[in-house]
Amino acid sequence: MCLNPKILQSRCLAIVAAVWLSGFSYVTNAEKADREKPINLEADKVSLDDNQKVSVFEGNVILTQGTTKITAAKITVREEKDGSQKATSIGKPATFRSKRDGVDEYVDGSAERIEYDSKTDKVELFTNAWLKRDKDELRGNYVSYEGSTEFYQAIGGSTSANNSTSPGRVTVVMQPKPKVQATAPK
Condensed to tens digits (0 to 9), the pLDDT of residues 94-148 reads 998 887 777 788 888 999 999 988 888 788 999 999 988 888 899 999 998 876 7
- Phi first, then psi: give them for residue 42, nearest 5 degrees: -125, 135
* pLDDT in the model for residue 126: 95
Specify the length of the chain in residues: 186
Q: Between residues 181 and 145, which one has the greater pLDDT?
A: 145
Query: Is residue 161 pLDDT above 80, yes or no?
Result: no
Rounded CA-CA distance 116/146 in Å is: 10
* pLDDT in the model for residue 113: 97
- Provide the pLDDT confidence category of residue 1 given band limits of 50, 70 and 90: very low
pLDDT tens-digit series, residues 38-86: 778 889 999 988 889 998 999 999 988 888 888 999 999 888 889 888 8
The whole-model pTM stands at 0.72
| 3-class state of residue 161 by DSSP | coil
Rounded CA-CA distance 116/95 in Å is: 13
Query: Is residue 4 pLDDT above 70, yes or no?
Result: no
